[in-house]
Amino acid sequence: MSRVNHAQLQSSIRDILDFPTPGIVFKDISPLLGDGPLFRSVIDELAEIASNTELSKIVAIDARGFVFGAAVAYKLGLGFIPIRKKGKLPYKTVGSSYQLEYGDAAMEIHIDALNPGEATVLVDDLLATGGTSASAVNLVQKLGGSVKAALFVIELDFLHGRAKLPPDVPVHSLIRF
Ligand code: AMP
């Protein structure tokens, strides 16, 4: 297991101004993903945090959350549940709509993705206003499951996304801006 070098992580996140809409500073993780040892250390650290909880599945958010969430699930030998943008999942779904930093969105989960009482950890690349993650927690809870922790690579502190998550869901992020 390798620890994340935080200076290196910080310099691997590229600011793209006015993307996807004017006024947004988009945190581009492409340089991070392109650096094998750094990417591995990010997965190792997220997996270590997740492993402090008793859980059976990793839940991750479409689409960049899948990159990190699937690798953490693989590393811990856990099941993986994708939460996808509306209309993408092929089987019966449960949905939830919410506000984004740049517009509205709706997410869905397969109705049989988890059993009542199952414990999960949520993974996404970035916590901004918290609407997406709060909606993901809501979907898991609608199916009778629980979210024991929410893990992010990046957190944008100035948007106070943590406050949107239920108080019993601890939030961990590897780097905060
Ligand atoms: P939010 O619901 O506002 O917390 O937004 C979080 C979701 O939107 C995550 O899945 C991110 O991938 C994406 N996102 C929001 N804001 C940004 C940003 N400034 N840079 C990159 N991704 C973002």
Q: What is the set of domains in the chain, with CATH numbers? A: 53-176 (3.40.50.2020)
Question: Rounded to the nearest whole angstrom, what is the distance from the C-alpha of residue 75 to the centroid of ligand 1?
Answer: 25
Question: Rounded to the nearest whole angstrom, what is the distance from the C-alpha of residue 155 to the centroid of ligand 1?
Answer: 9
At 99, is the pLDDT very low, low, confident or very high (cuts 50, 70, 90)? confident
User: Can you spell out the DSSP letters for 113-132?
Assistant: SS-TT-EEEEEEEEESSSHH
At 116, is the pLDDT very low, low, confident or very high (cuts 50, 70, 90)? very high
Ligand 1 atom closest to the CA of 25, numbered from 1: 19
Amino acid at 154: I
User: At 143, is the secondary structure helix, strand, or coil?
Assistant: coil
Question: Rounded to the nearest whole angstrom, what is the distance from the C-alpha of residue 101 to the centroid of ligand 1?
Answer: 7
Ligand 1 atom closest to the CA of 27, numbered from 1: 20
Query: Percent of the chain scored above 90 by pLDDT?
Result: 93
What is the CB < 6 Å shell around ligand 1? Answer: 24-27, 61, 64-65, 100-101, 124-133, 161
At 1, is the pLDDT very low, low, confident or very high (cuts 50, 70, 90)? low
Ligand 1 atom closest to the CA of 24, numbered from 1: 19
User: At 104, is the secondary structure helix, strand, or coil?
Assistant: strand
User: At 148, is the secondary structure helix, strand, or coil?
Assistant: strand
Average pLDDT over the chain, rounded to an integer: 96
Encode pLDDT of 25-83 as tens digits: 999 999 999 999 999 999 999 999 999 999 999 999 999 999 999 999 999 999 999 99
